[in-house]
Chain A
């Protein structure tokens, strides 16, 4: 980052993460699945961005791409992933590996399965600290104990010696979070971090993530299919559908005035007190093998018209509010 004096009018901060035009494909026996088709978004330092969408829309694979861990047979076809201005995709594998854990870290959906069953929690945190910070074991151990305290685990000395199966889901997720933050990453990606937990624990874990984000000053990408969770926790929300981003806006703006028909339908399908029946979105997500040209939501969209046969471009319709739709929903 440059040390230039801050201009009078605060310029938009240089993004910490910039993903531009990311295309990712899976070569399967049935054909080529275009799992990501031109995904672009940014994350500012310290910002919390929610990545929302249905299962299979590409949110998890976007996270994997940023980590440089696209599972086979997935392959990045084009685009850019820049972290602090550095083009990660141009890095040799070894250098990208060094980025993981020290600059970007990840938290998983099923914490008990994301912990090694044959190693103690302590050894896993110590390992993460040593790899990310190039420090010796004694120092890493001190840091690990300190981090366990920070994630709200009482008696860290004892937790260090436990195995995953001895922890509850909530405790295991706290331990996972400790592993993620111990390296001092400025970007944490949480992939459905609360989906496998009890509702009461979910709130605690989300609060912890917010708390840590503020204290450590790191940015957070919160991947979730739960719009409610995104609304409560994120500064900005990116909505994905069928491998593309359809809308992004500050959280409040998105909920007040959703512009993309998909977002609007998604919000309408949320259960709310006082509403009798849920309103599911008709139809199904299109097949990502040879999808029809044009807007991918068109086949399920009430507002679709002949113009939707051409792919809509992303346009700014409000302050930092972008939508890819020819016939956006107007606020009433």
Chain B
């Protein structure tokens, strides 16, 4: 690649230019941008409401009903479009939970080291060993299955991963001369964490956060498919798949379209995340 230096900090345009050198990342970004627009405008794009009944049952795709009609007469296109908003929200909330707790714990562990580090990271190891489906089952048993509880389960299991990324980045940063320089002007620990550490570990966190958005959406779909997440008639993509599974042989289109949306969304987040990683890590620029 020709670009040898990073753009000036804070230059969004410069960042976009660098990203533009990676077609796959730009594709991911374009798809995600469209999905966001779709999510924001969903009620205006969707010709029907989520639980509107139309003429007919189990109709294959047609011009009037692009994705067909489901087993009780609802327009699948409308439901998938409305589901976009739900799925993106799930991703953001779940990753938000992981990010908030994971970064806090990881930075504290990396910054203070010693027993603080040992205590935090051992707890993280335990949480890390927990499969999210199992945690979701536990939460569902205790609080009842719901989309919110699914989000919490997905958010919790990913805390250790964010903690590890944040800790590793913090460990590399605290050693740098400018952190010592900040100490030399009398800056306190909270101030150093806020002003020196956090801004300088943002890169890997953005990359990991982007990659995680796709994973979280996929995980939420899995939970809903298993009946542990969004409950019918919520048009969440996983819930749509759950409802469609009985008709897999007779009306495959009911599974195909929600599945396609999950697939494309997760793929786009992964492509964008990989692109961002290449962009932010000069070593992997080839």
Name the A residues within 8 Å of B181 (CB-CB).
106, 108, 114-116, 176, 179
Name the B residues within 8 Å of A100 (CB-CB).
183-186
Q: How far is the CB of A24 from chain B (nearest CB, A)?
A: 17
Specify which of A67, A69, A131, A183 lies most central, judged by the most chain B CB atoms within 10 Å of its CB.
A131
In the bound complex, CA of A179 to CA of B182 (Å):
10
What is the predominant secondary structure among interface residues of chain A facing chain B?
Answer: mixed
Q: Are B200 and A127 in contact (CB under 8 A)?
A: no
Name the B residues within 8 Å of A116 (CB-CB).
178, 181-182, 195-196, 199-200
Name the A residues within 8 Å of B176 (CB-CB).
113
Q: Are B185 and A119 in contact (CB under 8 A)?
A: no
Interface residue B180 (Cβ < 8 Å from any Cβ of A): yes
Q: How far is the CB of A182 from chain B (nearest CB, A)?
A: 9
CB-CB under 8 A for A131 and B178, given A117-B9, A117-B200, A119-B195:
no
| A163 interface neighbour in B9, B113, B186, Cβ under 8 Å | B9
Q: Are B186 and A98 in contact (CB under 8 A)?
A: yes
Q: Which residue of B lies closest to A128 (CB)?
A: B185
In the bound complex, CA of A98 to CA of B199 (Å):
24
Name the B residues within 8 Å of A109 (CB-CB).
177
The 0/1 profile, CB within 8 Å of B marked 1, for residues 116-139 of chain A is 111100000001100110000000
In the bound complex, CA of A69 to CA of B183 (Å):
8
Interface residue B40 (Cβ < 8 Å from any Cβ of A): no
| B188 interface neighbour in A97, A99, A118, A176, Cβ under 8 Å | A97
CB-CB under 8 A for A105 and B183, given A114-B178, A116-B195, A117-B200:
no
Q: Which residue of A lies closest to B186 (CB)?
A: A101
Interface residue A199 (Cβ < 8 Å from any Cβ of B): no
Interface residue B187 (Cβ < 8 Å from any Cβ of A): yes
| B186 interface neighbour in A113, A114, A119, A131, Cβ under 8 Å | A131
In the bound complex, CA of A50 to CA of B182 (Å):
24
Number of A-B contacts (CB under 8 A): 72
Q: How far is the CB of A108 from chain B (nearest CB, A)?
A: 5
Q: Are A113 and B8 in contact (CB under 8 A)?
A: no
Q: How far is the CB of A223 from chain B (nearest CB, A)?
A: 14
CB-CB under 8 A for A179 and B178, given A117-B9, A118-B199:
no
In the bound complex, CA of A23 to CA of B183 (Å):
22
In the bound complex, CA of A176 to CA of B178 (Å):
10
Q: How far is the CB of A254 from chain B (nearest CB, A)?
A: 29
Chain B stretch 184-216: residues in CB contact (< 8 A) with chain A: 184-188, 195-196, 199-200, 202
Q: Are B178 and A105 in contact (CB under 8 A)?
A: no
Name the A residues within 8 Å of B187 (CB-CB).
127, 131
Name the A residues within 8 Å of B183 (CB-CB).
67, 69, 100
Chain B stretch 58-115: residues in CB contact (< 8 A) with chain A: 113-114
Name the B residues within 8 Å of A176 (CB-CB).
181
Q: How far is the CB of B147 from chain A (nearest CB, A)?
A: 37
Interface residue A102 (Cβ < 8 Å from any Cβ of B): yes
In the bound complex, CA of A104 to CA of B142 (Å):
58
| B177 interface neighbour in A72, A108, A118, A127, Cβ under 8 Å | A108
Q: Which residue of A lies closest to B188 (CB)?
A: A97
Name the A residues within 8 Å of B195 (CB-CB).
116, 119, 127
Q: How far is the CB of B251 from chain A (nearest CB, A)?
A: 54
Q: Are A102 and B200 in contact (CB under 8 A)?
A: no
| A113 interface neighbour in B178, B185, B196, Cβ under 8 Å | B178
Q: Are A132 and B186 in contact (CB under 8 A)?
A: yes
Interface residue A84 (Cβ < 8 Å from any Cβ of B): no
In the bound complex, CA of A113 to CA of B176 (Å):
7
In the bound complex, CA of A132 to CA of B182 (Å):
12
Specify which of A110, A115, A118 lies most central, judged by the most chain B CB atoms within 10 Å of its CB.
A118
The 0/1 profile, CB within 8 Å of A marked 1, for residues 165-187 of chain B is 00000000000111011111111
The 0/1 profile, CB within 8 Å of A marked 1, for residues 113-141 of chain B is 11000000000000000000000000000
Chain A stretch 155-209: residues in CB contact (< 8 A) with chain B: 163, 166, 176, 179-180, 183
Q: Are A102 and B186 in contact (CB under 8 A)?
A: yes
Q: Are A101 and B200 in contact (CB under 8 A)?
A: no
Q: How far is the CB of A45 from chain B (nearest CB, A)?
A: 20
| B178 interface neighbour in A117, A127, A183, Cβ under 8 Å | A117
Q: Are A69 and B180 in contact (CB under 8 A)?
A: yes
Q: Are A119 and B199 in contact (CB under 8 A)?
A: yes
The 9 closest A-B pairs by CB, nearest first: A101-B186, A101-B185, A118-B199, A128-B185, A100-B186, A114-B177, A106-B184, A114-B181, A113-B177
Chain B interface residues (CB < 8 Å from chain A): 8-9, 113-114, 176-178, 180-188, 195-196, 199-200, 202
